[in-house]
Amino acid sequence: MTGSQTTRNAPEATEALRLVRVSKTYGGDGTRVTALDDVSLALPRGTFTAIMGPSGSGKSTLLHCAAGLDKPDSGTVFVDGQELRGRSETELTKFRRERIGFVFQQFNLLPTLTVLQNTTLPLKLAGRRVDLNRARAVLERVGLGQRLDHLPSQLSGGQQQRVAIARALVTAPSVLFADEPTGALDTHSARDVLTLLQESVRVFGQTVVMVTHDPVAASYADAVLFLADGRLVGRMSNPTAQAVAERLTYLGDEVARQRRQQRHQVGLDASVATAGRPRKEI
């Protein structure tokens, strides 16, 4: 059975990211919170996917598990066809710096390093040759070619986030994850950052996964996945801000309905509810 499952779950070469039945709970007995409940998904290379949902829906946990920053309780994550499970902290760190880029809401630039030094840091840590021309080119691309020697504290929020994106892109990662990248930015800077992410997908074939709660931000993506209560509950291709906003409004109702159904089912037959039907993979 394990064999057949492995074959079924084996990622295809065109996939950048695959999650197979990933679950994660937080807290102890009394305060148990299910952040991710049996989530499976697969994202092809060169796509821009937004993950949306109300707060507490598990968006960030999903991103952290997918990026190897957090370990799921069960299930498997494949990045670029490589399984993350069973790696030590150090192995995971090394894997991350080779294949994964991450952009945070709060930028997380190192305050003592200049723009150029921040950008090349992942290469230094990986012991790779630092190609300054390439780093400069990436910074040029994000519009900071003139600011190489500035410290983060001398830049605006939007500029800091663009440095963070340059830092994530410089290693040419298989997947670039972004956790609310525009959450701390004004509308104008947010648009710059989103255009930049979109461009990295369309022009350079980068794979980008972005968590956001902003329908306008989501509309820059090729597809939107909706998450509620730790479960994937829907998908939308070629999203527009309006359609996403509408969908989000109804998401609450949908989830409430599903919960009622589930409770009903549990009431009827506990075993049916726990075994569950295999959820459709998105």
Residue choice 6, 14, 124, 205 for contact with another protein (CB under 8 A): 124
Q: How far is CA 93 from CA 122, 124, 125, 276, in A?
A: 11, 14, 10, 35
159 binds another protein (CB under 8 A): no
Residue choice 89, 129, 237, 267 for contact with another protein (CB under 8 A): 89
Using the rule CB under 8 A, give the single segment among 11-19, 120-128, 138-146, 221-229 that binds another protein. Answer: 120-128
Number of residues that bind another protein (CB under 8 A): 33
**Cβ neighbourhood burial of 215 (10 Å; 0-12, 13-18, 19+):** buried
Residue choice 14, 73, 82, 110 for contact with another protein (CB under 8 A): 110
Residue choice 37, 70, 199, 281 for contact with another protein (CB under 8 A): 70
Residue choice 25, 42, 121, 148 for contact with another protein (CB under 8 A): 121
Rg (CA), the chain: 20
192 binds another protein (CB under 8 A): no
125 binds another protein (CB under 8 A): yes
Q: Which residue lies nearer to another protein by CB, 150 or 191?
A: 150
Q: Which residue lies nearer to another protein by CB, 111 or 278?
A: 111
Q: Which DSSP symbol is given to 6?
A: H
Pair of tokens at residue 82: 């490589």
Beta strand ranges found along the chain (DSSP E): 15-26, 33-44, 48-52, 74-79, 82-83, 100-103, 175-179, 208-211, 223-228, 231-237
Using the rule CB under 8 A, give the single segment among 26-34, 103-111, 198-206, 254-262 that binds another protein. Answer: 103-111
- Closest separation between CB of residue 231 and another protein, Å? 22
Residue choice 38, 104, 258, 273 for contact with another protein (CB under 8 A): 104
Q: How far is CA 129 from CA 92, 102, 122, in A?
A: 21, 21, 11
28 binds another protein (CB under 8 A): no
Please tell me the distance from the alpha carbon of residue 167 to that of residue 127, in angstroms, as a whole number.
15
Please tell me the distance from the alpha carbon of residue 20 to that of residue 261, in angstroms, as a whole number.
24
CA atoms within 13 A on the CB side of 179: 20
Q: Which residue lies nearer to another protein by CB, 60 or 207?
A: 60
Please tell me the distance from the alpha carbon of residue 208 to that of residue 46, in angstroms, as a whole number.
8
Residue entry with tokens 């040419």: 172
Pair of tokens at residue 140: 């040029």
Where on the chain is the footprint of another protein (CB under 8 A)? Answer: 64, 69-70, 89-90, 93-94, 96-97, 102, 104, 106-113, 117, 121-122, 124-127, 151-153, 155, 157, 160, 167
